[in-house]
């Protein structure tokens, strides 16, 4: 509860910062919405000339794209603080976090909340709701539960990746750019993992688990995901979370301060 209150305070502060530069924020917001709109329009246009892509219909392909957006935007919304970790370390804020009576990782991850993503999420949720109704079989409680749990699972993996990036930045005072490698790789999840050949699919499932984070929830909703994969996905998320937290502890133990 205390942490929820702190998060609320941090979120309000972030909102005030963004509201100060209204024109820029508005431009970014419109840009984000335009990107989603253009991609949906592209998919819609493609399906004017074909009935299916790797066996999926238009609503199904749109579901993959929207699921990618949900996971990606939620991760940006909640874990935005990682993007500025280098400056936190360089300017001494990280040292300040270390002496505060709160969890350091919590302070680092949540010290910024991107409110533009809150606004971006609203149309994405509405369109996803509409698309889910278009899928044959409709919305069943079990499918929806599996879909929701796997999105949460994807968020846990995203959180683990963000922790590793933060740990690398603490260890090296550099490499904060690693987060952009993750963001770029995430875009491979815009399309179903079935479009990739076997080696690439393997990489996207086991090495950079974009497919687990994005394709698995959509496939589960479509009833095309084996239960074995469901278990495997949850195991992967838990393992990556535990390992990333261990790495974070390892990195912070070796931190000797660089700025204060």
Partner 1 sequence: MEGVSLIELDDEQLRSRSWREGLSRRASFLMERFRALVVLVSFYYFWSALLKHRTTFVGYDRNQMITYVLGMNILRSLVFATRTEEIAGEINHGRLSGYLLKPVNFMLYTLFRDLSEKSINLVSAIIEVFGLILIFHVQLQWPQNAQTWLLFLASAVGATWLYFILSFMTGCWGFWTSESWGPRFLLELFLEFTAGAFFPLDVLPQLAQQIIKSFPSPYLVFFPLQIFLGKLNSTQIINGFLMQGFWIMAISGVARLVWIKGMRNYGAVGS
The footprint of partner 1 (CB under 8 A) covers 21-31, 34-35, 38, 41-42, 45-46, 48-50, 53-54, 177, 180-181, 184-185, 187-188, 190-191, 194-197, 200
Nearest residue to 114 via CA among 154, 84, 92: 84
- 97-119 exposure pattern, b = at least 16 Cβ within 10 A, e = fewer: beeeeeebbbbbbbbbbbbbbee
Smaller CB separation from partner 1, 197 or 227: 197
H helix or E strand, kind and range, residue 144:
helix 141-172
Tokens 């990333």, residue located = 244
Distance CA(82)–CA(197), nearest Å, equals 33
CB of 184 to partner 1, least distance (A): 5
CB of 214 to partner 1, least distance (A): 12
Distance CA(186)–CA(227), nearest Å, equals 24
Smaller CB separation from partner 1, 9 or 22: 22
Smaller CB separation from partner 1, 110 or 120: 120
Smaller CB separation from partner 1, 50 or 256: 50
Smaller CB separation from partner 1, 119 or 185: 185
114 — phi, psi (to 5°)? -90, 100
CB of 34 to partner 1, least distance (A): 6
Q: For residue 215, give the DSSP letter.
A: I
CB of 181 to partner 1, least distance (A): 6
CB of 38 to partner 1, least distance (A): 4
């Amino acid at each position: 509860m205390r942490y929820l209150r702190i998060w609320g305070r941090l979120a309000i502060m972030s909102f005030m910062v963004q509201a100060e530069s209204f024109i820029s924020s508005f431009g970014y917001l419109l840009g984000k919405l335009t990107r989603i709109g253009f991609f949906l329009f592209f998919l819609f246009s493609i399906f004017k000339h074909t009935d299916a892509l790797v066996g999926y219909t238009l609503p199904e392909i749109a579901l993959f794209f929207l699921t990618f957006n949900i996971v990606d935007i939620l991760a940006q919304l909640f874990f935005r603080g990682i993007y500025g970790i280098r400056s936190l370390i360089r300017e001494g804020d990280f040292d300040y976090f270390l002496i505060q009576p709160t969890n350091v990782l919590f302070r680092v991850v949540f010290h910024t909340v991107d409110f533009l993503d809150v606004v971006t999420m609203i149309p994405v949720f509405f369109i996803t709701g509409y698309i889910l109704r278009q899928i044959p079989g409709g919305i069943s409680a079990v499918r929806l539960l599996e879909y929701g749990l796997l999105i949460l699972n994807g968020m846990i993996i995203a959180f683990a990746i963000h922790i590793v990036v933060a740990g690398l930045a603490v260890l090296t005072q550099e490499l904060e750019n690693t987060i952009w490698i993750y963001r770029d790789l995430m875009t491979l999840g815009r399309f179903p993992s079935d479009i990739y050949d076997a080696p690439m699919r393997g990489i996207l499932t086991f090495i950079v688990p974009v497919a687990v984070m994005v394709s698995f929830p959509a496939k589960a909703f479509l009833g095309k995901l084996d239960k074995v994969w469901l278990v495997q996905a949850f195991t992967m998320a838990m393992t990556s979370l535990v390992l990333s937290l261990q790495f974070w502890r390892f990195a912070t133990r070796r931190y000797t301060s660089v700025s204060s």
